[in-house]
Amino acid sequence: MALRLFNTLSAKVEEFQPQQDHLVRMYSCGPTVYDYGHVGNFRTFVFVDILRRFLQQSGYELKHVMNITDVDDKIIRNAAKQGVTVGEYTKKYEQAFREDMQTLSLETPELIVRATENIPDMAAFIAGLEQKGYAYRADDGSYYFRIAKFPEYGKLSKKDFAGMEVGARVDVDEYDKDNARDFALWKAPKPGEAWWDTAIGAGRPGWHIECSVMARKFLGDTLDMHLGGEDLIFPHHENEIAQSEALTGKPFARFWVHARFLLVEGEKMSKSLGNFYTLRDLVLKGHKPSSIRYLLASVPYRRQLNFTFGGLKQAASSVERLRNFKLRLETGHFEPGSNPKIAALAQTARECFTATLADDLNTAEALAAVFDMVREVNAAADAGEVRKNDIPPLLAVLTQFDQIFDVLRDTDAPKIERILEWAQKEGNLDGVSNGRADVYGTLTSKVSDQGVEELIAKREAARRARDFKASDAIRAQLAEAGIIVEDTKDGVRWKRK
RNA sequence: GGCGCGGUACCCAAGUGGUAAGGGAGAGGUCUGCAAAACCUUUAUACGUGGGUUCGAUUCCCACCCGCGCCUCCA
């Protein structure tokens, strides 16, 4: 089924087809590594991840490039404040970002590229623009893009700059720009700032040039899709289009897809409102990475997602329900044979799941398709209508689901542990809420699977002897270690909290 | 001010010109030694407010109210 996506450029939902058979060349704007990533950042990255995974599930091969912006005003300022070089400063946050990607089970793009490692290419790109008259050099050695020469400027963000008069609104400190809207391609060095010596002179790149240059270098003149958060539409992506199309004369990207901003507790996330959370903050408050990923993925990317702590708890319950269902299929006892009714349920779920995702990545409806199956199969299993041969197709649906959502495999514990270690090292445990105790409880238990099995065997013996006092004591002991014991009609099963 | 998006039950959140998915939570029940898990039943005379179009609107149009985004580097 063909994927339909909302293309910001056309402002319509369009059917996506790559230029070349089954290869998708995509570029997504990665982080500026000046601090730890926050939930808002990750809403966008989770969207990109879901899209990546669905494309792959649909049979496409990906060549996905993501940039790391490792030089900009904020980085230069913060590095200077700490008295370290830009490289030293960004290394730490790039590493942190990569760890955060793992925490959220985000797939690694085929290529991650750093701005600072492609400076000569940027200089050459700017020189090319200057040659064609799209760029000019200011007195101080900075380069600007001449917007007046690119009539299509504004086509992505739907802004009309036609009435803008050249020089009309130039600020006094921007005297060397021809037009106030002209944006910097290259910034001349300032005292104490990082700079590079290049063919077009000394300085550092402007914000937009890195993406135009690296996208072209690694993916070619025309991308299949270019992704990012909605705030990047203007000016970032608009400027990328101007730079790239001015130079190559070809469309820069066929699809522009943007994720909507989220709200936190119903309000815009901001430090002043006190609702600003990094991924690490949330984990330290006792929320599992799988809950966070689920919540971020469960609302379609073009909807304003209201990220709340209540929602996080709900997400945890939803994930738990799915994991329980999987456990039931894997550990339950079913009579031999097969039931066509169950096969039909699996088939319907499979088809709906794909169809809803293909419809502009409607993750909410895709989840509904899976939950419909869960409910109906659970009911059928209770009625003894599920047979052994029905299990593989049902598990196949869950596999298909998890290829996209990736929350069924329980990998939370080691991730939480890593963040706790980091927090202890950084002395960041102050202000961590009660959730911490739970997290610690789970992690410090460290009971081996074998140890659990032994205790459960002991408990079973006690239960058979109808010594419920003893068996309940063992269950409580396990619970303290973060192990949940469940007595099903098919026998005992256990899981880690 | 300009442009754009949204307001659906206790919470999160789909969707449709013909009378409302899914998840969570709550209540009652089944199962269980007890729990847990699971299942069943139940919880929106109605989709921000007021008009209009229509045989019929939550779904289309207009106005208003509220929230959100972009309009100089915030995903």
Per-residue pLDDT of A122-159, as tens digits, reads 999 999 999 999 999 999 999 999 998 999 999 999 88
pLDDT at A65 over 90: yes
> In this predicted structure, what is the pLDDT of residue A445?
52
Residue A81 lies in a domain: yes
pLDDT at A434 over 80: no
**In chain A, residues 356 through 385 whose Cβ sits under 7 angstroms from any atom of nucleic acid strand B:** 362, 364-365, 367-368, 371-372, 374-376, 378-379, 381-382
- Is residue A249 domain-shared with residue A139, that is, in the same domain? yes
- Is residue A472 domain-shared with residue A357, that is, in the same domain? no
Residue A164 lies in a domain: yes
Residue A14 lies in a domain: no
Encoded tokens for A407: 């929350």
- Is residue A58 domain-shared with residue A178, that is, in the same domain? yes
> In this predicted structure, what is the pLDDT of residue A218?
97
> In this predicted structure, what is the pLDDT of residue A161?
72
Task: Tell me the per-residue pLDDT of A317-370, one tens digit each, with 9 for 90 and over.
Answer: 999 999 999 999 998 989 999 999 999 999 999 999 999 999 999 999 999 999
**Residue where a domain stops, chosen among A354, A378, A405:** A405
Q: Which residues contact A332 (CB under 8 A, 6 or more apart)?
A: A381, A488, A490
Q: Which residue has the higher pLDDT, A391 or A179?
A: A391
| CATH number, domain containing residue A277 | 1.10.730.10
**In chain A, residues 12 through 31 whose Cβ sits under 7 angstroms from any atom of nucleic acid strand B:** 29, 31
| CATH number, domain containing residue A234 | 3.40.50.620
- Is residue A399 domain-shared with residue A416, that is, in the same domain? no
**Residue where a domain stops, chosen among A214, A239, A259:** A259
What one-letter code names the amino acid at A87?
Answer: G
pLDDT at A436 over 50: no
Q: Give the DSSP H/E element, type plus range, for residue A241.
A: helix A238-248
Nucleotides of B under 7 A from a protein CB: 3-6, 11-15, 21-25, 31-40, 67-75
Residue A484 DSSP SS3: strand
CA-to-CA separations, A399 to A235, A315, A370, A446, in angstroms, rounded: 40, 19, 11, 28
- Is residue A166 domain-shared with residue A31, that is, in the same domain? yes
- Band (A162; pLDDT cuts 50, 70, 90): low
- Is residue A252 domain-shared with residue A291, that is, in the same domain? no
C-alpha torsion angle, residues A453, A457, A462, A464 (rounded to 10): 130
| CB A348 under 7 Å to nucleic chain B | no
Q: Is the distance from CB of A282 to CB of A292 less than 8 angstroms? A: yes
Q: Give the DSSP H/E element, type plus range, for residue A15.
A: strand A12-15
- Band (A496; pLDDT cuts 50, 70, 90): confident
The closest of A211, A220, A206, A268 to A240, measured between CA atoms, is A211
pLDDT at A387 over 60: yes
pLDDT average, residue stretch A79-106: 95
**In chain A, residues 395 through 454 whose Cβ sits under 7 angstroms from any atom of nucleic acid strand B:** none
Taking the CA of residue A302 and the C1' sugar atom of nucleotide B58, their distance in angstroms comes to 21
> In this predicted structure, what is the pLDDT of residue A428?
64
| CB A47 under 7 Å to nucleic chain B | no
- Is residue A400 domain-shared with residue A416, that is, in the same domain? no
Range name among A116-120, A283-287, A438-442 with the lowest pLDDT average: A438-442
- Is residue A422 domain-shared with residue A375, that is, in the same domain? no
| CB A132 under 7 Å to nucleic chain B | no
Query: Which residue range(s) make up the domain with A354?
Result: 267-405
- Is residue A346 domain-shared with residue A427, that is, in the same domain? no
> In this predicted structure, what is the pLDDT of residue A165?
44
> In this predicted structure, what is the pLDDT of residue A429?
62
**In chain A, residues 63 through 82 whose Cβ sits under 7 angstroms from any atom of nucleic acid strand B:** 72-74
Residue A224 lies in a domain: yes
Tell me what percent of the residues of chain A surpass a pLDDT of 70.
Answer: 93
| CB A324 under 7 Å to nucleic chain B | yes
Taking the CA of residue A20 and the C1' sugar atom of nucleotide B37, their distance in angstroms comes to 49
Range name among A145-154, A205-214, A378-387, A486-495 with the lowest pLDDT average: A486-495
Range A86-93 contact pairs with CB under 8 angstroms and sequence separation of 24 or more: A86/A116, A86/A194, A87/A116, A89/A34, A90/A33, A90/A34, A93/A31, A93/A33, A93/A34, A93/A35, A93/A36
> In this predicted structure, what is the pLDDT of residue A1?
73
Residue A148 lies in a domain: yes
Q: Total structural domains in chain A?
A: 3
Task: Tell me the per-residue pLDDT of A438-493, one tens digit each, with 9 for 90 and over.
Answer: 444 444 456 788 889 999 999 999 999 999 999 999 999 998 888 899 998 888 99
pLDDT average, residue stretch A279-291: 93
The closest of A399, A226, A409, A300 to A47, measured between CA atoms, is A300
How far is the C-alpha of A16 from the C-alpha of A7, rounded, in Å?
A: 9
Burial, A180: exposed, middle or buried (Cβ in 10 Å; 0-12, 13-18, 19+)? middle
User: Regarding beta strands A196-198 and A184-187, do their DSSP bridges make them parallel or antiparallel, or are they unpaired?
Assistant: unpaired
> In this predicted structure, what is the pLDDT of residue A430?
52
| CB A460 under 7 Å to nucleic chain B | no
Nearest nucleotide (CA of A362 to C1'):
B14
Residue A485 lies in a domain: yes
> In this predicted structure, what is the pLDDT of residue A87?
94
How far is the C-alpha of A226 from the C-alpha of A489, rounded, in Å?
A: 52
Encoded tokens for A276: 């600003």
| CB A321 under 7 Å to nucleic chain B | yes
> In this predicted structure, what is the pLDDT of residue A41?
95
- The residue length of chain A stands at 497
- Band (A168; pLDDT cuts 50, 70, 90): very low
Residue A1 lies in a domain: no
Residue A389 lies in a domain: yes
**Residue where a domain stops, chosen among A209, A229, A259:** A259
> In this predicted structure, what is the pLDDT of residue A446?
62
For all residues of chain A together, what is the average pLDDT? 90
| CB A471 under 7 Å to nucleic chain B | yes
How far is the C-alpha of A430 from the C-alpha of A438, rounded, in Å?
A: 16
**In chain A, residues 251 through 280 whose Cβ sits under 7 angstroms from any atom of nucleic acid strand B:** 259-263, 266-269
Ramachandran region, residue A491 (left: φ > 0; alpha: ψ -120 to 50; beta: rest): left
- Is residue A99 domain-shared with residue A234, that is, in the same domain? yes
- Is residue A114 domain-shared with residue A230, that is, in the same domain? yes
Nearest nucleotide (CA of A380 to C1'):
B39
- Band (A433; pLDDT cuts 50, 70, 90): very low
- Is residue A254 domain-shared with residue A285, that is, in the same domain? no
